[in-house]
């Protein structure tokens, strides 16, 4: 595999209720990686319509996700922030990848099984082909690193499989067109830290999710201080004191989750948190967690509100990002067309 220029790509769906899991699993990583990499962060609106969306809410959610990136510290002047549907090459490359990926690969995707549920016949074709679009998002920019939460691991593996199969299927043409041994890098997932899978506040065995019917199961980035405090106080726990060692969290999913959230928000390890709170009861720990969550999240929520109050500013940021993304996308897509054998 030749060396590819390091580049970060990641995306977040504009489907409402951005929550602490999105923030700790993905968005905080986006901010960190800006220091060391060229980064492209995308509001993946084409992905959102794989299930029904209200057009007005979708438009508001697209702006809200862009605002969340910026409020959390992503700098759209140094890096690229845009929404997917403004760069037509995402859909174009996804089609090529639909023809590279195999039915069997997509049939194994657990997210499709979960989202389609029992009524598979009624799921959209887009929901099934979703991972090919995700592979196209990443590979359109020949990105090498993809910060995501644990739940996206399988999709990332599929993106690597697509890249590898394309490189193999078209090896001769890739070389003949002057691209050497491989056209696409095999993108590496970056799933790191203590909060790669933030769990529901109501059930430590279930992932914190936008679609959970109970709003108390998650902390939304738009929640105010009182709401955050209430949700943390109501969060499910068990009757025992907090353990002093990480091993003691083993069979205690709710305690493990809250300690992990504290650690991630405070930039610590779980062991550090237990050094401070081990042996104590949950109410002391929860008070500290309320203070920490409010201190970290409320300023982001406030800034998101300020930014979304001026949609024309956000739209300008997205249009500028899309123009810069398109420049890279065009070059990749032109090369892909030559490699595949299209006449242009
Ligand atoms: P999405 O929109 O569901 O979630 C956005 C990011 O948040 C992470 N995440 C979590 N991390 C920790 N704990 C949780 N409870 C939690 N819930 C969500 C997700 O792992 C993700 O990183 N398919 C993607 C969007 C996408 C994408 C891409 C990502 C489309 N194209 C290309 C990377 C590269 C998705 O639905 O994420």
Question: Does a structural domain hold residue 260?
Answer: yes
How many residues belong to the chain? 344
Q: How confident is the model over 218-241, as pLDDT tens digits?
A: 999 999 999 999 999 999 999 999
Q: Per-block average pLDDT, block size 10, for the chain (344 residues)?
A: 92 96 98 98 98 97 98 98 98 98 96 91 96 98 98 98 98 98 98 96 97 96 98 97 96 97 98 97 97 98 98 98 98 98 94
269 lies in the same domain as 136:
no
43 torsion bin: left (phi>0), alpha (psi -120 to 50), beta (else): beta
- Taking residue 208's Cβ as centre, other Cβ atoms within 10 Å add up to 25
Task: Considering the candidates 153, 165, 206, 207, report the single residue annotated as catalytic.
Answer: 207
Q: How far is the CA of 26 from the centre of ligand 1 (A)?
A: 7
Residues 178, 89 share a domain: yes
pTM for this entry: 0.97
Is 204 inside any structural domain? no
Spacing, Cα 78 to ligand 1 middle (Å): 23
Q: Identify whether 207 is part of a domain.
A: no
Closest ligand 1 atom number to CA of residue 197: 13
How far apart are the C-alpha atoms of 333 and 343, rounded to whole Å?
13
The answer to whether residue 138 is domain-embedded is yes
* Known catalytic residue at 337: no
CA of 173 to the centre of ligand 1 (A): 34
User: To test ligand 1's pocket by mutation, which of 8, 25, 143 has the most ligand atoms within 8 angstroms of CB?
Assistant: 25
Q: How far apart are CA 252 and CA 204, in angstroms?
A: 8
Ligand 1 center to 21 CA (angstroms): 9
Return the C-alpha torsion angle 208, 71, 268, 154, nearest 10. Answer: 40
Catalytic residue among 210, 270, 296, 337: 210
pLDDT of residue 1: 79
Which pLDDT score is estimated for 244? Answer: 96
Residue range of the domain that includes 282:
215-306
Nearest protein Cα to ligand 1, atom 37: 12
Distance 239 CA to ligand 1 centre (A): 33
Same domain for 244 and 158: no
Q: Catalytic: 207?
A: yes
Sheet holding 145-147, edge to edge: 80-83, 39-43, 8-12, 145-147, 188-190
- 59 with 155, same domain: the answer is yes
Predicted pLDDT of residue 17: 87
Q: How many angstroms is it from 66 CA to the middle of ligand 1? A: 14
Is 318 a domain residue? yes
Same domain, 330 and 293: no
Based on the structure, what is the number of domains in the chain?
A: 2
Q: Tell whether 107 and 224 lie within a shared domain.
A: no
The pLDDT of residue 344: 86
Q: Domain for residue 65, yes or no?
A: yes
Contact 44, 152 (CB under 8 A): no
Residue 291 is assigned to a structural domain of this protein: yes
Please tell me the predicted confidence (pLDDT) of residue 326: 98
Based on the fold, state whether residues 111 and 229 are members of the same structural domain: no
**Closest listed residue to residue 19, CA positions, set 209, 235, 300:** 209
302 shares its domain with 314: no
Closest atom of ligand 1 to 151 CA is 20
Task: Note whether 148 and 190 are same-domain residues.
Answer: yes
208 belongs to a structural domain = no
Q: How does pLDDT run across 33-58, given as a tens digit for each residue?
A: 999 999 999 999 999 999 999 999 99
Mutate to test the pocket of ligand 1, among 7, 9, 12, 329 (most ligand atoms within 8 A of CB): 12
Is there a single domain that holds both residue 48 and residue 156? Answer: yes
CATH number at residue 324: 3.40.50.620
> Is there a single domain that holds both residue 77 and residue 15?
yes
Question: From the alpha carbon of 143, which atom of ligand 1 is closest?
Answer: 34
Active site residue 115: yes
Residue 22 sits in the same domain as residue 123: yes
Where does ligand 1 bind, in terms of residues with CB under 6 Å?
A: 9-13, 21-22, 25-26, 44, 47, 134, 137-138, 146, 148-149, 151-152, 155, 196-198, 207-208
Query: For the domain that residue 251 is a member of, what is the CATH number?
Result: 1.10.240.10
| DSSP per position, 93-144 | HHHHHHTTS-HHHHHT-HHHHHHHTT-GGGS-HHHHHHHHHHHHHHHTTT--
């Amino acid at each position: 595999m030749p060396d590819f220029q390091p580049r970060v790509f990641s995306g977040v769906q504009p489907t409402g209720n951005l929550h602490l899991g999105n923030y700790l699993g993905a968005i905080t990583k986006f901010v960190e990686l800006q220091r060391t990499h060229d980064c492209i962060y995308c509001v993946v609106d084409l992905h959102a319509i794989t299930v029904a969306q209200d057009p007005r809410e979708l438009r508001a959610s697209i702006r809200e996700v862009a605002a969340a990136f910026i409020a959390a510290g992503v700098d759209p002047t140094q890096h690229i922030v845009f929404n997917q549907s403004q760069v037509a090459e995402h859909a174009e490359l996804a089609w090529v990848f639909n023809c590279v990926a195999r039915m069997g690969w997509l049939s194994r995707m657990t997210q499709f099984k979960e989202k389609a549920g029992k009524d598979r016949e009624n799921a959209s074709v887009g929901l099934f082909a979703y991972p090919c679009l995700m592979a196209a998002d990443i590979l359109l920019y020949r990105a090498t690193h993809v910060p995501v939460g644990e739940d996206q691991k399988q999709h990332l593996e599929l993106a690597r499989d697509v890249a590898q199969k394309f490189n193999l299927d078209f090896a001769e043409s890739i070389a003949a067109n002057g691209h050497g041994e491989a056209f696409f890098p095999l993108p590496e997932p970056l799933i790191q830290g203590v909060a790669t899978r933030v769990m529901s506040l109501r059930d430590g065995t279930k992932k914190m999710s936008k679609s959970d019917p109970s709003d108390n199961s998650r902390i939304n980035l738009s929640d105010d201080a009182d709401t955050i405090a209430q949700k943390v106080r109501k969060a499910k726990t068990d009757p025992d004191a907090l353990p002093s060692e990480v091993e003691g969290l083993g069979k205690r999913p709710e305690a493990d989750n809250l300690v992990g959230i504290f650690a991630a928000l405070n930039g610590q390890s779980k062991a550090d948190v237990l050094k401070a709170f081990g042996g104590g009861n949950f109410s002391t720990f929860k008070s500290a967690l309320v203070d920490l969550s409010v201190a970290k999240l409320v300023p982001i929520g406030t800034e998101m509100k300020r930014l979304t109050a001026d949609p024309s500013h956000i739209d300008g940021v997205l249009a500028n990002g899309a123009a810069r993304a398109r420049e890279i996308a065009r070059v990749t897509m032109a090369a892909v067309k030559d490699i595949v054998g299209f006449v242009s």
